[in-house]
Amino acid sequence: MSKEIPYKIYLEESEMPKQWYNLRADMKNKPAPLLNPETLQPMTKEELSAIFCEELAAQELDETNPYIDIPQEIADFYKMYRPAPLVRAYCLEKKLQTPAKIYYKFEGNNTSGSHKLNSAIAQAYYAKKQGLKGVTTETGAGQWGTALSMACSYFELDCKVYMVKLSYEQKPFRREVMRTYGASVTPSPSMETKVGRKILADHPGTGGSLGCAISEAVEKASETEGYRYVLGSVLNQVMLHQTIIGLETKAALDKYDVTPDIIIGCAGGGSNLGGLIAPFMGEKIRGEKDYRFIAVEPATCPSLTRGKFAYDYCDTGMVCPLAKMYTLGSNYMPAPTHAGGLRYHGMSPILSQLYADGLMEAVTVNQTEVFAAAEEFARVEGILPAPESSHAIKVAIDEAMKCKETGEEKTIVFGLTGTGYFDMFAYERFHDGKMVDYVPTEEDLAKGFARIPKLDL
Ligand SMILES: *Cc1c(COP(=O)(O)O)cnc(C)c1O
């Protein structure tokens, strides 16, 4: 007997997850450890604690505890904007005339406009608890910087954001949102750091990159007393915090006895996708249930689908630890015409391992089809999606259309990670017919691959 499914499924406060789920505890092949860039030995807790605060360093290394309690202070903050609704996309289904049942988990219901607040608040909490003064970070499009600014102002911590220069200039409103929450925002590369000065000397006039902003933020944190560096994606700790997305999704579906067939998410550094699929992937690994998982990446930045699975630097400046991941090389830059976000050169080591083990699929999509899907979605479901999220929309629609051909009533769940109000220049280019697609050639990729260190491990 199936119950009538409401348009939005919410959880009661009492049904909210009280713990994060640490998928690594159930993974048979654990993700490879981070390596110290100088010694090439696995990073120890002490070494990690020089970069991250202690509890986060412990979470980074923990591959045995399947559940980790969400501290009450974080749970209280989550109540301000969670549970995030799980929406049955009835209107989209009707428009597509598909027998598929489509659900999306909407993470855009907070001022940062994305899921990133889920980890920002956790990272700010642990920094505060350790008695730190402040944190540094980088931001590209600005969602992470905004989320972190909100989290830091809540716990009264200083927040110093290095924002990729091009975004700093193109997205002045994002910058002002961060300053509204008390953050200081510096365009990167800057003259404030050694690595910034070096990059500026080598590439005068550069618009910057995420990898370069990371190097600056790490340097600043390591040279400022009472500061630590925090990162919004890629790391194990970030994916751990983001499992709140998947745990809520699963609890909401379980309430109505719904089992998804396919779970889809966009993949930049992998945190939303990893968080969304984690509890379902756990069931798959333990042999309890089977699901299809699909990571969607932009054709211009195809780390899973065309990258190499190797130890590589996480940042352009090569000061951060090395991670074993699918990578395009730490100097890889997507074509300048790329507008859809998801431009990081690597991928979460956890997702990389799952992909290498054949537990997850990955596909690429072109940006014009992504924006077409975004527009189609906005017109029927009302929400104006972030370009990043729209990668998942595109593939969810594709899968629903396959069901239309075969008549299969599959249940599809995708992550709608955020809203696109700050991406209207990109939408404008799409509407004016000026957006172009670019698929990197083997030659383009070879330049990045040449930068991947050849380690004899
Ligand atoms: C940052 C961001 C992403 C990509 O990051 P992941 O770590 O891969 O999840 C996707 N969508 C939105 C809205 C974002 O802000």
Torsion angle of the four alpha carbons 136, 217, 138, 322, in this order, in degrees rounded to the nearest 10:
-120
Residue located via tokens 């940062």: 112
* 388 alpha carbon – ligand 1 mean position (Å): 6
- Residue with the smallest CA separation from ligand 1 atom 2 is 388
pTM of structure:
0.96
Residue of 233, 347, 360, 391 best suited for mutating to test ligand 1, as the one with most atoms within 8 Å of CB = 233
Of 172, 165, 170, 168, residue with least CA distance to 207: 165
Q: Which atom of ligand 1 is nearest to the CA of 275?
A: 9
Whole-Å CA distances, 226 to 73, 128, 132, 229 = 22, 10, 5, 10
Sign of CA dihedral 54, 58, 59, 61: positive
Cβ count within 10 A of residue 444: 16
- Residue with the smallest CA separation from ligand 1 atom 7 is 271
* Single-letter residue type at 92: L
| DSSP 8-state class, residue 257 | T
* Distance of alpha carbon 318 from alpha carbon 295, whole angstroms: 27
312: three-class secondary structure by DSSP: strand
Residue of 235, 271, 338 best suited for mutating to test ligand 1, as the one with most atoms within 8 Å of CB = 271
Q: Which atom of ligand 1 is nearest to the CA of 112?
A: 15
* 233 alpha carbon – ligand 1 mean position (Å): 8
* 199 alpha carbon – ligand 1 mean position (Å): 26
273: three-class secondary structure by DSSP: helix
| DSSP 8-state class, residue 91 | H
Query: Per-residue b/e over 237-259, b at no fewer than 16 CB within 10 Å?
Result: bbbbbbbbbbbbbbbbbebeebe
* 143 alpha carbon – ligand 1 mean position (Å): 8
Helical residues (DSSP H) of 286-330, grouped into ranges: 303-306
Of 390, 399, 306, 389, residue with least CA distance to 114: 389
Cβ count within 10 A of residue 155: 17
Q: What tens-digit pLDDT sequence spans the chain (457 residues)?
A: 457 899 999 999 999 999 999 999 999 999 999 999 999 999 999 999 988 889 999 999 999 999 999 999 999 999 999 999 999 999 999 999 999 999 999 999 999 999 999 999 999 999 999 999 999 999 988 999 999 999 999 999 999 999 999 889 988 999 999 999 999 999 999 999 999 999 999 989 888 888 889 889 999 998 999 999 999 999 999 999 999 999 999 999 999 999 999 999 999 999 999 999 999 999 999 999 999 999 999 999 999 999 999 999 998 778 889 999 999 999 898 888 888 889 889 999 999 999 999 999 999 999 999 999 999 999 999 999 999 999 999 999 999 999 999 999 999 999 999 999 999 999 999 999 999 999 999 999 999 999 999 986 6
Give residue ranges with CB within 6 A of ligand 1.
114, 116, 143, 233, 266-272, 342, 386, 388-389, 417-418
DSSP bridge pairs for 105: 86, 415
* 268 alpha carbon – ligand 1 mean position (Å): 6
* 272 alpha carbon – ligand 1 mean position (Å): 6
* 141 alpha carbon – ligand 1 mean position (Å): 10
Q: Which atom of ligand 1 is nearest to the CA of 389?
A: 11
* 205 alpha carbon – ligand 1 mean position (Å): 27
- Residue with the smallest CA separation from ligand 1 atom 14 is 114
Residue located via tokens 């981070």: 34
Q: Which two tokens stand for residue 411?
A: 């249940």
* Distance of alpha carbon 56 from alpha carbon 105, whole angstroms: 26
- Residue with the smallest CA separation from ligand 1 atom 5 is 268
398: three-class secondary structure by DSSP: helix
pLDDT of residue 274: 98
* Distance of alpha carbon 372 from alpha carbon 367, whole angstroms: 9
Of 286, 334, 332, residue with least CA distance to 439: 334
* 37 alpha carbon – ligand 1 mean position (Å): 27
* 27 alpha carbon – ligand 1 mean position (Å): 24
DSSP bridge pairs for 187: 163
Of 236, 232, 237, 266, residue with least CA distance to 138: 232
Residue 256 contacts residue 236 (beta carbons within 8 Å): no
* Distance of alpha carbon 221 from alpha carbon 320, whole angstroms: 12
First to last CA, the chain: 55
Residue 110 contacts residue 117 (beta carbons within 8 Å): yes
pLDDT of residue 340: 84
Residue of 110, 116, 360 best suited for mutating to test ligand 1, as the one with most atoms within 8 Å of CB = 116
